[in-house]
Amino acid sequence: MSVNKRVVVVTPKFFDAATIGFLESQGCSVVLAMLPNGKSDAAATEEELIAVLAEADAWIVGHANVTSSLLQALPRLKVIARRGVGYERVDVDAACRSGKVVTIAAGGNEESVADRTLGLMLATAHRFRESQQQLIDGPGSILIGHDLYGKTVGLVGLGRIAQHVVKRLRGFETTLLVSTPRPTFAYGKAMNIEYVELDALLQRSDFVSLHAPLTPATKHLVDATGLARMKRSAFLINTARGGLVDDRALLEALNEGRIAGAGLDVFESESDPGLAWVTNELVRLPNVIATPHSGASTHEGLQRTNLVAANCVVSVLGGEEPPPGCQVFSSTYSAS
């Protein structure tokens, strides 16, 4: 299927040659955007994005803020394909009003983020950071950590990533608690899950792992009150979205020893720069393992997600039904 050399501009980094080849084989002209000073698209200004997108028919986007004013400045643009599953940085309503199509790329990074989740559980419990610092600083006592094996793990949310986490945790013979507004009881029975309310999950879990979307209803889902319900020996893991946790309350709880540690891939400061100081203090704590929202950033995960986003672009520009994983938001689009 050809789309007659439609221009596809790619602003996220790490876009692989195989996916570029796929787009070109479908009649697309691929432009890897060079943003000033090597910026990520998340850090680019609206003027910088307009400059690289002026001739684009399709935009494969990473973490840029896609605003109404930006969309109005790009009349040629037809499709915005997120390389990822969240769309809170995209003004979907504005895109729909302007006749543009927004897609997300589900199914590409789930395995990678599930791996990161387990990695953070193990790294915090086994005190990897503190133990390595002992070796760097010189002779010191051996630090005693905790097993993940046999512990109670509470998952907040049960979407695709959380279900991959469930599969991995079964190998550790954990007790699994899940808090979700939409429990699937057949799945729960098959995977030996106990569905509980959030308060009970926080009180009972040795590890609390967040897998919910960020919405007005879930903002600060884990706040000072929730942290106070957790065991002093418990670990909080967040690979989902900054804002699900009140990071200031988390910093206070960690400083006061009210929970044992945290493994964080996301932070409130990603959407609120005024909280950068909180992130800076969190990542310096010895009992925090932190990564920069990179849970999906493996070679394999990015290649999978690149290809899903590319398939979204090709399908929408060609007026065809998008393949599985390409969730579409549009007021007008329908496959021919």
Catalytic residues: 241, 270, 293
Integer Cα distance of 317 and 328 in angstroms: 13
Integer Cα distance of 226 and 221 in angstroms: 8
Integer Cα distance of 331 and 322 in angstroms: 16
Cβ pair 207, 229 in contact under 8 A: no
Integer Cα distance of 317 and 282 in angstroms: 44
Cβ pair 194, 176 in contact under 8 A: yes
Beta carbons within 8 Å of 138's beta carbon, 6+ residues apart = none
Integer Cα distance of 56 and 50 in angstroms: 10
The Cα angle at residue 118 between residues 115 and 122, in degrees rounded to 5: 135
Integer Cα distance of 232 and 260 in angstroms: 6
**What string of DSSP letters covers 150-208?**
T-EEEEE--SHHHHHHHHHHHTTT-EEEEE-SS--HHHHHHTTEEE--HHHHHHH-SEE
Beta-strand relationship, 261-264 and 193-195: unpaired
Cβ pair 196, 203 in contact under 8 A: no
